[in-house]
Amino acid sequence: MRIAVTGATGFIGTHLVKELAASGHDVVGVDLRPPDEATAAYLGPDGDRVRFATADLAVRGHLEDAAPGPFDGVVHAAVVTSTAEVEAADPGRVVSVNLLGTIETLRVARVWRARRFIYVSSSGVYGETDPAIPLTEDAPLQLRSLYTMTKYASERLVASANGEDGLAGASIRIAAPYGPMERPTGARTVMSIIHGLAHAAVEGRPVRLAGGGHGRDWTYAGDVGRAVGWLLRTPRLARACYNVSSGTVRTVADVARTLALLVPGFAWRPAASSACDLDGGRGQRRGPLDLARIHALGFAPRYGLREGLEETVAWIRRVG
């Protein structure tokens, strides 16, 4: 298959590109930023099946000009991962990329005569929930930020386009992603607590950790790439939305303890939020994602917390 991936040099986008290329697809990766040395190094030999193009999805026609079709499938992962500060300072950019960018990508997908469209959404649309209760795709939503509003609106746009001109589309909601290639970029301004802990462990910095009891359904980014590849290949998408995660809640302290096993000498201790180096309790509390829908298609995550952290630590050691 010939696949177009938007947001291709971002954190999740790089994993999407690598997984799809490794599976034998011809990939055109589109992003506002061209790939850098770290991207090329992470893709390795798989990069031979990837062509990159630059485009601003908020500008009508840029995507179509940058990546001439046709394409068999489109994976739309371009996004501004915003904070309250970013949304207050530049709400127009958040809307133009996260929502108008989806409208434009759907328009161009029809021009490309694509038959499959996968949108990368977020479990953030569920808001804060009881950590003990798994979340199905039908759970009530809490859209309390511009980011989650644009994510859900994009999901609905993809669902409404389903069946038009032969296009079959679906969205995935991913929970708390982490892994190689997570780093600050123009579009990604908030790093996971795993990013901070793993870098501290590899760099030999002791950590005073607050919020160790805070749990998340951590998702290794490579499993997101595998899930998207699975949805592109599956003969029929029975649902408009699928949860993608590890399906298990693990605490921030679990992460720190596992890193201490993987990186001997890594020292951390609990601390109050007023006297900490890293605070793992700032994110929303949320139950694990129920994976029954995507399990029914035959997909299951490959990485548990330890395996995902091993890959993350190995990557940090390679890049320095």
Residue 51: per-residue pLDDT: 97
Q: Is 71 inside a domain boundary?
A: yes
CA–chain centroid gap for 123, Å, is 10
What residues contact 145, with CB distance under 8 A and at least 6 apart? 82, 84, 87, 124
Q: Is 168 inside a domain boundary?
A: yes
User: Could you tell me which of 7, 12, 50 has the C-alpha nearest to residue 32?
Assistant: 7
Q: Is 258 inside a domain boundary?
A: no
Distance in angstroms (rounded) separating the CA atoms of residues 115 and 169: 8
Q: Is 234 inside a domain boundary?
A: yes
Which pair of tokens denotes residue 167? Answer: 């296009």
Q: How many beta carbons lie within 10 A of that of residue 244, not counting itself?
A: 27
Q: Is 261 inside a domain boundary?
A: no
Helices within the chain (DSSP H only): 11-22, 37-43, 62-66, 84-89, 91-95, 101-111, 146-161, 193-203, 221-233, 252-262, 292-295, 305-319
Residue 184: per-residue pLDDT: 79
Say how many domains are in the chain.
Answer: 1
Domain that holds residue 175: 2-179+218-246+286-302
Distance in angstroms (rounded) separating the CA atoms of residues 285 and 306: 21
| pLDDT tens per residue, range 240-251 | 999 999 999 999
The enclosing domain of 119 has a CATH number of 3.40.50.720
Spatial contact of 171 and 240, defined as CB atoms under 8 Å apart: yes
Residues of the chain where predicted confidence (pLDDT) is lower than 70: 186-189, 320
Q: Is 26 inside a domain boundary?
A: yes
Q: Is 14 inside a domain boundary?
A: yes
